[in-house]
Amino acid sequence: MNSNTITNGILKAIAIIAGVLLLLYFLYEIQSVIAYIAISIVIALIGSPIIRFLKRRLKFPNALAVITTMVFFLGILTGIISMFIPLIIKQGQNLSLLNIEQLQTNIEQLLIQINDYFLLYNIDILNELKNADLFKNLKAIPDLLNAIIGTIGNLSIGLFSVIFIAFFLMKDSHIMENSLYVLVNDKSEQKLRNALASINNLLSRYFIGLVLQILILFVIYLIVLVIFGIENAIVIAFLCALLNLIPYIGPLFGGILLLFLTMSNNLGQDFQTEILPTTIYVMIGYLIAQFIDNNVSVPIIFSKSVKSHPLEIFLVIIIGGILFGITGMIVAVPTYTAIKVILKAFLSDNKIVKLMTKDL
């Protein structure tokens, strides 16, 4: 091996590394677009059975079937959003969001009651919070509202993008598939067809499992909230269940949200006899629901649908979160599943691929 060969090898390795880094940087910069495409693909996968039903049973033309399916999805989205309007109005009234002084007074009273309770155990919470300038930070609420308005604007752009992409994914699904077949030779085309069919089957079972998971959590949360008389129980239960779509951190956000809404629901009542016991019981119910989810629902969904080891799932979700944030965490599992199926179809003799896909 001469010096030129070594030099060329080093330069080639550097070029490959540089290319990979540039690709990762490019993907990072367009992560919003990738997120829109990923969400659109999910919607297209969910909508495909509806489109097939409309075309085969009701004899709808392809375009009309797709439009009808999109209208159906938009109707569901509109219904979900309309469910949250009473909750937002109610919490706005409870917390006096339009009156910063009243909000500060209500929270101070609640904190005083909490502090009086914990002083019995020689814990001075109120003094610590005052040192942290909590009440001064309440003045930042208008800025928070402005940030929320900006976020709503970004969500509107994202929603339009997802609707546009999903429409054409469903309308021209065969064109999309045929464009993938162009990338492979005739010998590999059948492998790709089998891989796409397997991906569709696995992801369909995965999304059905997620729907079942959310439904189970929703029912448990709803029962707990109704038992303890929490207003807008349906909306709160649905929102907390929906947050479980975000792996690992979603349940944490859901718990914090449930804690906040439960306490604000009883704002103005006695802390020791009303707010604290109700909140504790509700949170116990939440923990029971999470126990059932983590030990029953999640293992069934991951092991039966995507056929991956829990450690694989954990690492893939963490990597997805690092690269693309919360969206990456949500789409990490279905994306990883699709990659595994394709690798098995085209690199089945590779040792690493054999190890990764032994359960498929």
pLDDT of residue 147: 55
**Maximum average pLDDT range among 28-37, 79-88, 139-148:** 28-37
Rg (CA), the chain: 26
The answer to whether the beta carbons of residues 301 and 213 sit under 8 Å apart is yes
94 versus 216: which is more confidently predicted? 216
Query: For 233-277, how does the pLDDT look when each residue is reduced to its tens digit (9 = 90+)?
Result: 887 888 888 888 887 788 888 888 888 888 777 666 666 777 778
pLDDT category of residue 293 using cuts at 50, 70 and 90: confident
Exposure string of 309-329, with b = 16+ CB inside 10 Å and e = fewer, is eeebbeebbeebbebbebbbb
pLDDT of residue 314: 80
The answer to whether the beta carbons of residues 327 and 242 sit under 8 Å apart is no
Distance (Å, whole) CA 153 – CA 158: 9
Residue 10 carries which side chain, given as an amino acid letter?
Answer: I
pLDDT of residue 2: 64
Which positions ≥6 away from 224 have C-beta within 8 Å?
281, 282, 285, 286, 289
pLDDT of residue 59: 84
Distance (Å, whole) CA 127 – CA 344: 61
79 versus 122: which is more confidently predicted? 79
Query: For 63-102, how does the pLDDT look when each residue is reduced to its tens digit (9 = 90+)?
Result: 888 889 888 888 888 877 776 666 666 555 554 444 455 5
Question: What residue segments make up the domains of the chain, in order of their start?
Answer: 187-360
Least confident of 99-103, 159-163, 205-209: 99-103
In this structure, what DSSP letter does residue 116 have? H
pLDDT category of residue 134 using cuts at 50, 70 and 90: very low
Residue 167 carries which side chain, given as an amino acid letter?
Answer: F
pLDDT of residue 98: 41
% pLDDT > 70, the chain? 70
Distance (Å, whole) CA 262 – CA 282: 8
Residues 35-60 have a mean pLDDT of: 81
Residues 280-287 have a mean pLDDT of: 89
Q: Work out the mean pLDDT of the chain and round it to a whole number.
A: 75
pTM score: 0.64
pLDDT of residue 101: 58
pLDDT of residue 95: 47
6 versus 76: which is more confidently predicted? 76
pLDDT at 136 over 60: no
